[in-house]
Amino acid sequence: MKPSQTTRARAGAAALLAVAATTGCSYTSPFQTDETMSLGDGVPVDIGDLELRNLVVVSGEEGGEGTLTGTAVNTGSKDVQLQVAVADGGEPVTADMPPGEVVLLGEGSDAVKLSKVPAPPGAMAEMTVATGSSDVTPVSVPVLPPIGYYEEFAPPGYTPPAEPSESETESEEH
């Protein structure tokens, strides 16, 4: 038996409706590539010609010393001096950023050491960053403990917590 013209028209309409219904969801959703996202542990900040990326404070305790890590790029044609201050105390620190270069903060002579970190690991520290020619920009920077990847940025004198012994681990499991 041959399907009638009406049956074929209904089947075609149903197929067209199914296609429209299943593809309509993406019509109202924004493209994820249209949104700028910070995919690292830290936060980004742009100050004039200075682009700071993946800013993180590495510290073992609230009120203790810390190291600001991240990447800085001076896109201008002149030297820029980065100024960093912790909102709740500590001395402001500065670092020179040569033009057209990528500077890895926290490493070697480019280490930005903070004398007092106002937040414990796992929290956000309120800071201000500026250059000599820009306004002060407030920023919330995550404070991470000096373990794993960040162990090399541990402040001087930091001692990591003791690892539990095998017998302590076994007794906790029972």
Q: Assign 174 a pLDDT band (cuts: 50, 70, 90).
A: low
Q: How far is CA 165 from the centre of its chain?
A: 34
pLDDT computed for residue 15 by the predictor: 82
Q: How far is 118 from 113, CA to CA, in rounded Å?
A: 14
pLDDT computed for residue 142 by the predictor: 95
20-48 pLDDT per residue, tens: 777 666 666 666 666 666 667 889 999 98
pLDDT computed for residue 36 by the predictor: 61
75-122 pLDDT per residue, tens: 989 998 888 888 876 678 888 889 998 988 887 766 788 888 899 999
pLDDT computed for residue 155 by the predictor: 83
Nearest residue to 121 (alpha-carbon basis) of 46, 21, 41 = 41
130-160 pLDDT per residue, tens: 887 667 899 999 999 998 888 888 887 777 7
